[in-house]
Amino acid sequence: MKWQQALTDYAHYLQIERGLSKNSIENYSYDIKKLTLYLNDHSIKVSPITIDTNIIKDFIYTISKSINPRSQARLISGLRNFFDYLIFENYRTTNPLDLIESPRIGRKLPDTLSLSDIDDLINSIDLNYQYNGVNLGERNRSIIETLYSCGLRVSELIDLKISDLFFEEGFIKVTGKGDKQRFVPIGPTTQKFINIWIAIRNHIDVKPNSKDILFLNYKGSQLTRAMIFTIIKKLVEKTGLHKNVSPHTFRHSFATHLLENGADLRAIQMMLGHESITTTEIYMHVDRSHLSDVLNKFHPRK
């Protein structure tokens, strides 16, 4: 078995058997491509079936010089899953990463924005900004509002469809990881800004494969993840906000602000689309004073 064949078969397995999203599959595949690049650069002639622990150790040691411990841990986990798949398919009997430990890393707390930070970012948007006759300022405002008010992942945002909007019921349908769908509440303010954008969108010559996509570029095509990062980066620079802000920061802020204001963790889990409640529990780091208030208010022996 050659590396490319193994990689292709593994990608099919991740898609069909595990139901992972395109982005997740690309991330898993990227780990294996890094390993094959290392093997080629060092003229190491081994196949996925014959590679051993010593070669993997040398690879990890080499690559550890250029990536942080968290990235190392993710790389090791990705490769371990790949070789577990080869064992599952009876190509191997052992996993060469079984004796390799991941670096110890602390639990990373998510960055968050305050409500005033978010207001500053939104207020900095030039609502009259146009490009090729398309008002992109109104589009950008509705994008930021949707990211924050609905707690979406960036991939969920760019894939959001007009047919996913159920404004009369107060919900949007979101397709998350593994094509799992959930309904997320959407408030009247965000609905208003989206409707303003839709009125503008109706005058754009939309490409055939983007007819139902909500957020488009001026050419009428679906936005990319990179474009959302660029929009946010420019707003952060314009505002002078000294924080590391990405699309995911708005998702973290959404969950944090809900928790601070007394929302149930289980409800937050459902809105975020987390498969496990333990993933949502990372937001429990926020506002310790709020947790004390809960104790004082509800515990019988306060």
Burial category of 138 from C-beta neighbours within 10 Å (exposed 0-12, middle 13-18, buried 19 and up): buried
Give Cβ neighbours of residue 106 (< 8 Å, ≥ 6 apart).
Answer: none
Asked if 136 and 129 count as a contact pair (C-beta separation under 8 A), the reply is yes
Higher pLDDT, 189 or 266: 189
DSSP reduced 3-state for 99:
coil
The reply to whether domains 3-88 and 115-293 share a CATH topology is no
From residue 105, how far is each of 56, 72, 144, 255, 290 by CA, in Å? 21, 10, 32, 23, 27
Residue 108: the pLDDT is: 60
CB atoms within 10 A of CB 135: 20
Tokens standing for residue 259: 């928790």
Each domain of the chain, given as residue ranges in start order, spans: 3-88, 115-293
Asked if 138 and 197 count as a contact pair (C-beta separation under 8 A), the reply is yes
Closest alpha carbon to 9 in 91, 106, 69:
91
Burial category of 286 from C-beta neighbours within 10 Å (exposed 0-12, middle 13-18, buried 19 and up): buried
Residue 280: the pLDDT is: 64
Return the beta strands (E) in the chain as ranges.
Answer: 130-131, 134-135, 165-166, 171-175, 181-185
Catalytic (active-site) positions:
153, 177, 248, 251, 274, 283
CATH of domain 3-88: 1.10.150
Residue 109: the pLDDT is: 59
Dump pLDDT digits (tens) for 69-116.
888 888 898 999 999 999 999 999 999 998 888 777 655 656 789 999
CB atoms within 10 A of CB 178: 14
Dump pLDDT digits (tens) for 216-258.
999 999 999 999 999 999 999 999 998 889 999 998 899 888 8
CA–CA distance, 169 with 95 (Å, rounded to integer): 50
Q: What is the β-pairing status of strands 171-175 and 165-166?
A: antiparallel
Report the top-level CATH class of 115-293: mainly alpha
pTM: 0.65
Asked if 134 and 104 count as a contact pair (C-beta separation under 8 A), the reply is no
Asked if 76 and 30 count as a contact pair (C-beta separation under 8 A), the reply is no
Tokens standing for residue 54: 């010593």
Residue 220: the pLDDT is: 94
